[in-house]
Amino acid sequence: MKRCSKCILPETYPGITFNHQGVCSLCENYMKTEYQGKEELLRVVDKLRNGDPYDCMVALSGGRDSTFVAYYAVNELKLNVLAVTIDNGFIPQQVRKNIKCTVERLGIDHQYFAHDHMKHTVKHIMRSWMHSPSPGMISLLCTGCTTGIMSGLVKAAQENKISAILGGGGDIVGSGGEPEASFAEGLMSLSANPRLRSLSIGLGFMREFFRNPRYLSNLRFSTTLLREFLYRFAFKLENHVQPIGLFEYIRWDEDEIMSVIQGKLGWKKPKDWQSSWRADCKIHLLKEYLYRETIGFTKNNELLSGMIREDMITREGALVRLEHDNKISSQFLADFLGQYEIELCEVDSALNRYKKTMTG
């Protein structure tokens, strides 16, 4: 498989092209992150100190970034923080321990919301996907997560009269944070025009549903999907609470983050995770496995490629790390799928059928 000569993205990455030197279009068009600086961050957060019980809340998933954000908010910014955890039902046990340890060591209040938007649809989604595997539809396994996160954060803000939420970056709060792009939308989108993003993705899903109508045979899934689409593409968090992305202001530094959360907060990654990245949801490993087996790369390729562009790691080092991070425990997959009465061999059979259609 051809890879970019600068980063480690392969030729199967959606929309990728290569120049005569073998450098991919993402590297050619990349602009390094410009941070606004800690001084500007302090100016922003100083406006939050109004004497209320909480200056802001932190969305504490138990992952490495959100754990570091909580630490930084308390110890560096000296904010009165309310930690808010939105439980989608797939948080590993070790991550639950990490969350408990974090709030105890930081001495902050913690509010917990649980939702079941995903738990009741995973079996149906997997059975439908196995009937006709499609890389673009792997993202459906997260259907309901954004709905739960956004509704939970808004509820916490309203109940506690909090006007701002501090996060790392990414989908929930601003940009910045871990230097990864998002290929999932590229797999589904029918147009590269950013102005047509929502419409293009919606039409892409409609095409897939037409090809495999089994997905829509489940009413609960259909209604959850509709809500998810609205929350993802129409809902504006900033209309309810001010989002502040920590890594828009200070540099995202993986080594520093891991040193802080492991050394000062006792953070540990779950036993089935090779990487410390995205350790807060079991669904992530299943998706990584399906992506790896259908298109030959995972989200790890994106993360490490972004780190190469930001001069955080060498290409050679990224390739070595990728080999390690992309290993996924078969026992974990078997146990996880078994909870939904699905055998790993059934999934592998569906994957083999897909690979034959691609090579045939």
* Per-residue pLDDT, 173: 46
Number of domains in the chain: 1
Contact by Cβ (8 Å): 106, 71: yes
DSSP letter, residue 359? H
302, part of any domain: no
Q: Could you tell me whether strands 164-167 and 56-59 are parallel, antiparallel, or unpaired per DSSP bridges?
A: parallel
How far does CA 244 lie from the centroid of its chain? 18
CA dist list (Å): 212 to 3, 215, 264? 32, 7, 49
* Per-residue pLDDT, 181: 59
Find the angle CA(147)-CA(153)-CA(154) to the nearest 5 degrees. 90
CA dist 117 and 122 (Å) reads 9
The one-digit pLDDT tens for each residue of the chain (360 residues) are 899 999 999 999 998 999 999 999 999 999 998 999 999 999 999 999 988 899 999 999 999 999 999 999 999 999 999 999 999 999 999 999 999 999 999 999 999 999 999 999 999 999 999 999 999 999 999 999 999 999 999 999 999 999 999 998 644 444 455 665 578 888 888 777 777 877 888 898 999 999 999 999 999 999 999 999 899 888 888 999 999 999 999 999 999 999 999 999 999 999 999 999 899 999 999 999 999 999 999 999 999 999 999 999 999 999 999 999 999 999 999 999 999 999 999 999 999 999 999 886
Report the predicted TM-score, pTM, of the whole model to 2 decimal places: 0.93
* Per-residue pLDDT, 180: 59
* Per-residue pLDDT, 196: 80
Quickly tell me which residue has 């498989």 as its tokens. 1
Domain of residue 63 covers 34-182+235-291+329-352
360, part of any domain: no
* Per-residue pLDDT, 172: 47
* Per-residue pLDDT, 177: 58
305, part of any domain: no
Segment 152-185, tens digit of pLDDT: 999 999 999 999 999 986 444 444 556 655 788 8
CA dist 287 and 299 (Å) reads 9
How far does CA 127 lie from the centroid of its chain? 23
What sign does the CA torsion over 100, 53, 158, 146 have? Answer: negative
276-304 core/surface letters (b: 16 or more CB in 10 A; e: else): bbbbbbbbbbbbbbbbbbbbebbbbbbbb
25, part of any domain: no
CATH number at residue 78: 3.40.50.620
**Phi, psi (rounded to 5 degrees) for 21:** -95, 0
Neighbours of 214 (CB within 10 A): 15
* Per-residue pLDDT, 233: 82
Contact by Cβ (8 Å): 156, 57: yes
CA dist list (Å): 68 to 184, 208, 257, 269? 26, 39, 6, 14
Find the angle CA(97)-CA(99)-CA(104) to the nearest 5 degrees. 95
1, part of any domain: no
268, part of any domain: yes
Question: Where does residue 219 rank: exposed (0-12), middle (13-18), buried (19+ CB within 10 A)?
Answer: exposed
Token pair of 25 as six digits:
């279009």
* Per-residue pLDDT, 171: 45
274, part of any domain: yes
* Among the listed residues 212, 234, 59, the one whose alpha carbon sits nearest the alpha carbon of residue 138: 212
Per the DSSP assignment, residues forming a β-bridge with 325 are none
* Per-residue pLDDT, 184: 83
* List of residues 6+ apart from 91 with CB closer than 8 A: 61, 62, 99, 280, 281, 282
243, part of any domain: yes
Segment 283-320, tens digit of pLDDT: 999 999 999 999 999 999 999 999 999 999 999 999 99
